[in-house]
Amino acid sequence: MLKQNESKNKPVATAEESPGPASAARPSAHHRPLKGFLTRRTREAQARKVLLFLSTGNTCRSPMAAAYFKKLLDDRKIRTLEIRSAGVMTIAGLLATDESKLMLEPYGVSLEKHRSQPLTEEMLRRADLVLGMTPFHVQMALRLSPSSRGKTHLLKEYTQTDPKNRPIPDPMGCTLEVYKRCFRQIKQACDRLVDVEFVTGKPSKAARAGGPKSRPVAAGPKIRLRRSLSPATAQPKTAGGAVKPANVKKSVASAKPGRNHEK
């Protein structure tokens, strides 16, 4: 009798409360936004362009260029680029030099977590733009991956910061003053690089200014001069289009008294 009463008082689970295979397989509303967020982040990561800086040991020049350029992108809130650096003659795991760290301290940039990476063919394949400090770096990259010829350039040549395209020398083992000169050149190039179309997606100021073909200087004054001539003052021409000599002499003779009178 007691068991029957217990069975009567036991609550019966309804269809909504009882877990079934359909409800267990359906994700909750709490997890669906997270899935969409991860998908969006994945799409953004895949859409990013890769910029690769090259130097010899990947402990001085290319780390300074990559770290400083990341700072410029963060200041402008540009999230469409992935910045990397590598060395054409190095091993993995080397620390950045102390002098390189000192160059970036005034800008709030740290190289403590930097570790050198040797250049690989896979890096060149994934990169959209490769910038070397010297012609040697460009040649090593092209030797490793000939298909990257169209996207591999000198840093100064690509940014047009030096008419002679002189290489940025290696400051490794040199004084702090040599590091300052080296970073000054890198900074000047990076300051120009952040405005190019590859980074912003828009034509740079130099490209918008136009070259000689798009802005002819001599065409404007000639056109205005022709328009200023009225039919009354225009010289009569012969059938061949040349001005008659008599009219020219007459116009010169008539102009002399006027000039003498002004004097």
In a domain, 64, yes or no: yes
In a domain, 144, yes or no: yes
Whole-model pTM: value is 0.64
In a domain, 260, yes or no: no
In a domain, 24, yes or no: no
When divided into structural domains, the chain yields a total of: 1
The predicted pLDDT at position 179 comes to 98
Rounded average pLDDT over 101-110: 96
Q: Which residues contact 117 (CB under 8 A, 6 or more apart)?
A: 58, 84, 85, 86, 87, 90, 92, 123
- Percentage of residues of the chain with pLDDT beyond 90: 57
**The token pair that represents 209 in the structure block:** 């200014």
Instruction: Assign residue 175 the CATH number of its domain.
Output: 3.40.50.2300
Which has the higher per-residue pLDDT, 49 or 207?
Answer: 49
Residue 255 has pLDDT above 50, yes or no: no
Across the chain, mean pLDDT equals 77
The predicted pLDDT at position 202 comes to 82
| Run of H or E residues at 129 | strand 129-132
In a domain, 21, yes or no: no
In a domain, 55, yes or no: yes
Task: Give Cα separations from 172 to 56, 59, 208 (angstroms).
Answer: 10, 8, 39
Q: Which residues contact 14 (CB under 8 A, 6 or more apart)?
A: none
Rounded average pLDDT over 27-31: 53
Residue 131 has pLDDT above 90, yes or no: yes
Residue 226 pLDDT level (bands cut at 50, 70, 90): very low
Q: Distance between CA atoms of 234 and 179, rounded to whole angstroms?
A: 68
In a domain, 117, yes or no: yes
Length of the chain: 263
Nearest 5°: the CA angle 132, 134, 136 is 95
Q: Which of 21-25, 79-83, 182-186, 227-231 has the lowest mean pLDDT?
A: 227-231
In a domain, 92, yes or no: yes
Q: Which domain holds residue 146?
A: 39-202
The predicted pLDDT at position 203 comes to 78
* Most confident range, picked from 12-21, 63-72, 200-209, 215-224: 63-72
Q: What is the pLDDT of residues 138-165, one digit of tens each?
A: 999 999 999 999 999 999 999 999 999 9
